A and B are shown apart, each in its own frame.
Chain A
Amino acid sequence: MTPILELRNVRKAYGDFVAVDSVSMAVPAGSIFGLLGPNGAGKTSSIRMIMNITAPDSGEVQVFGHPRTSEDLRRIGYLPEERGLYRKMTVLDQLVFLGEIRGLRGPQLAADINHWLERVQLADWSKRKIEELSKGMQQKVQLIGTVLHKPDLLILDEPFSGLDPLNQELFRDLLLDYRSQGKSVVLSTHGMELAERMCDHICLISHGRAVLDGELRSIKRQVGGNAFRLVADGDLGRLETMPEVEHAVIQDGVAKLMLRPEAEGAAVLRQIVQFLNVHEFRSEEPELEQIFLKAVRDAA
């Protein structure tokens, strides 16, 4: 199946600083695609090139199976990282305007806006000015503006930042709903937990390079062979000094270990029991956060 969005060797430099270095990635249709990476990795720079806000120095952006045209942009819903709304406009006027520049009109538009405002619990605020709203409310207004024209592809830059858990849940439901209609979502985030719960595919960017790209489940399987969970008493800190341990996250007597690919779990356990009182040691799927940390370190 042709990907709904594809970057091919896209590169962007600002002066001497290479923000995006030959990034390739493909977003399958009908998926939630996580663009992950630490701050300054090049996520927003990539998205801005997808949206034709900046032009890549080289490489190609394909949307809906062909090189992107300005017409395609109208089929995409885009939520920029820095929230942009007209501060002096009322919520309703703002949404009508955002709908109208996408060619929506009349009673259907008004009905859609009302439906969305009800859904995000902002119906009582429709006549208020944007500047009177809290940051979270503004974000909800902007999300409505992004999905109002039922785009085939949603591109959301850090959609969850600044939202309380309740609203995060609301956003998450909306996006899952969106996927269930066969549409696609690209979201950038550095919140691994959320990405893990929502994304089917991920692309991990670090220092402008894509270091990991693919289906989340297969990535986990691929990396996950050597992840273990250890519950023990004693000086768990010593685990980090073991040559076989690539990475360890230790908290409250529980260690999440990522072993080197060549290391064997049983052999490592035999060493550990010599200095720790082990209660539990078992193989497990790695968390995205571990994969993330490992990948970022490997890339560096």
Chain B
Amino acid sequence: MRLNNVVVVAKREYLQRAKTKAFWIATLILPLFVAGISIVPALLLSKTKSSQRIVVVDETGRVGNSLVARMNAHESEKPREEDEKSGSRRNRNQAGNVTFQAETEPLAADRKAQRADLDRRVMDKSLDAWVWIGPGVFTDTPVEYHARSVSNVFTQEALRDELSSVVRQERFREAGIDPARVDELSRSVHLAPRRVSATGSRAEGSLGAAALAMVLFFMLYVAILMWGQQVMQGVLEEKGSRVIEVVISCVTPFELMLGKLVGICLLGLTQLAIWLGTMLVVTAPGLAASLAVLPKGVVLPTLSPVMLINFVLLFILGFLAYATLYAGIGASFNNLQEAQQAASIAMVFVIIPVTVMYPVINDPNSTMATVLSLIPMFTPLLMPLRIAVDMPPAWQLALAYALTIGFVLGMIWICARIYRVGILMYGKKPTFAEIWKWTRYA
């Protein structure tokens, strides 16, 4: 084998594909999507951050002052208990972005004129909204909220929360109960998830680990499928255009196949590096916190070096397993239509891990998860899931690697033989029995 030939072929495969728009679109669409669902809402939220100028008119005289005091003192720091008690499971931080500049206004003799005056001030924008607290506030009468726009849900939610706690405290006082005591007694209980692993327990958000597992899983899924198919299409193109007849006089079929696998694998790694890089930036603790898009209490799991190494190794193995198969399929048939049927069989091996993804995340050490993740065609997709959620025992990892490497070598051996014969075969579509026979040729 001439290494130089492998390098030349790999270089062509890499550069020609890296030069296409399609590659960059496919590569950038995922980060853009992630950015889209994380950064854009945060940006939108930050626009409502400008403090709201609000006038409160209180008919009862018991709510207005404490409400305004609370609203003006309001920063994102608010007692958590308040939230739990009200039964609101809403995202505190989102509403927490709203700040107020509130003031009370005494009830005027002419209520109608006062309302008209407030409306005018809202209209000429010297005021954002005004609130009219009627005597029925302690029962069930809603509090009036007047503003130019009433679709600002976060502002309204924040206002409602403040109002509720002030009114609630008033009710307690009326009933002779000390509000402070109520707060103390009705505190919620929190769960503190701890991950148990070989390196000892440490605090980590379980939701975050599952999210990370899923993100990694889909990255691998997309990359393996996409680049595997690329190998098949490349082989079919060479065969269809008969470039192969020229190339094969200088490069052996094995060198050609290997060069193709190496080149496209490197391109896949380039893409993953871009994806992972984006992920690291987006989930960097500082940025994530400042964007404030994650529910409080979810600690973003960091992509540890161990996970990263496993992820890259498993991508390479997974790519080789599938791409070799696709290379063999591509070489066996004359065009994409013919190859599609066989290619869909290869797809099955990718679909199965998808169907068991949730059970595996939920219980990464179940018998099913353990067994499936040790099957070579599934290992590259299922092992990263297990590693992200809960590091499997070392012996399982070692066994999985050994089996997968053995399997990949076997695949390369078989597919190289199919490739060598098939690549120069034209004419009728071969049967699977015929293709199998090719592997027996000396």
With known contacts A86-B16, A88-B16, A97-B8, A102–B242 Cβ distance under 8 A:
no
Contact-residue bracket for chain B: 20 to 34
- Within 8 Å of chain A (Cβ to Cβ): is B243? yes
- Within 8 Å of chain B (Cβ to Cβ): is A280? no
Which residues of A have CB within 8 Å of B250?
73-74, 101-102
Which residues of A have CB within 8 Å of B238?
86
Q: Tell which of A80, A84, A93 has the most Cβ of chain B within 10 Å.
A: A84
> Binary interface profile of A, 140-156, with partner B (CB < 8 Å = 1, else 0)?
00100110000000000
Which residues of A have CB within 8 Å of B424?
53-54
Q: Would you call A101 and B8 a contact (CB within 8 A)? A: yes
> Binary interface profile of A, 73-104, with partner B (CB < 8 Å = 1, else 0)?
11010111011111111000100011011110
Q: Would you call B242 and A80 a contact (CB within 8 A)? A: yes
Q: Would you call A78 and B246 a contact (CB within 8 A)? A: yes
Q: Tell which of A54, A88, A145 has the most Cβ of chain B within 10 Å.
A: A88
B residues 1-42 in Cβ contact with A at 8 Å: 4-5, 8-9, 11-12, 15-16, 20
- Within 8 Å of chain B (Cβ to Cβ): is A52? yes
With known contacts A78-B249, A101-B251, A84–B5 Cβ distance under 8 A:
no
Which residues of B have CB within 8 Å of A210?
none
Which residues of B have CB within 8 Å of A52?
249
Bound complex: CA A101 to CA B241 (Å): 18
Which residues of B have CB within 8 Å of A54?
424
With known contacts A100-B8, A101-B5, A101-B251, A86–B237 Cβ distance under 8 A:
yes
- Within 8 Å of chain A (Cβ to Cβ): is B293? no
Bound complex: CA A86 to CA B244 (Å): 10
Which residues of B have CB within 8 Å of A76?
249
A residues 27-71 in Cβ contact with B at 8 Å: 48, 51-54, 70
- Within 8 Å of chain A (Cβ to Cβ): is B397? no
Which residues of A have CB within 8 Å of B244?
84
Taking a contact as CB atoms closer than 8 A, the residue among B4, B237, B242, B245 that contacts A103 in the complex is B4
> Binary interface profile of B, 232-248, with partner A (CB < 8 Å = 1, else 0)?
00000110011111111
Which residues of B have CB within 8 Å of A89?
16
Q: Would you call B241 and A87 a contact (CB within 8 A)? A: yes
Q: Would you call A85 and B249 a contact (CB within 8 A)? A: no
With known contacts A93-B16, A103-B4, A84–B249 Cβ distance under 8 A:
no
Taking a contact as CB atoms closer than 8 A, the residue among B11, B12, B15, B242 that contacts A83 in the complex is B242
Closest chain-A Cβ to B175's Cβ sits at a distance in Å of: 79
Taking a contact as CB atoms closer than 8 A, the residue among A84, A86, A87 that contacts B245 in the complex is A84
Question: Residues of B with Cβ closer than 8 Å to A?
Answer: 4-5, 8-9, 11-12, 15-16, 20, 237-238, 241-252, 424
| 12 cross-chain CB contacts under 8 A | A70-B252, A74-B250, A76-B249, A78-B249, A80-B242, A80-B245, A84-B242, A84-B243, A84-B244, A84-B245, A86-B241, A101-B251
Q: What would 20 more interface pairs be, CB under 8 Å, given A88-B20, A93-B12, A142-B246?
A: A48-B245, A51-B245, A54-B424, A74-B249, A78-B246, A78-B249, A80-B245, A82-B245, A84-B242, A84-B244, A84-B245, A86-B16, A86-B237, A86-B243, A87-B237, A93-B16, A97-B12, A98-B246, A101-B8, A101-B9
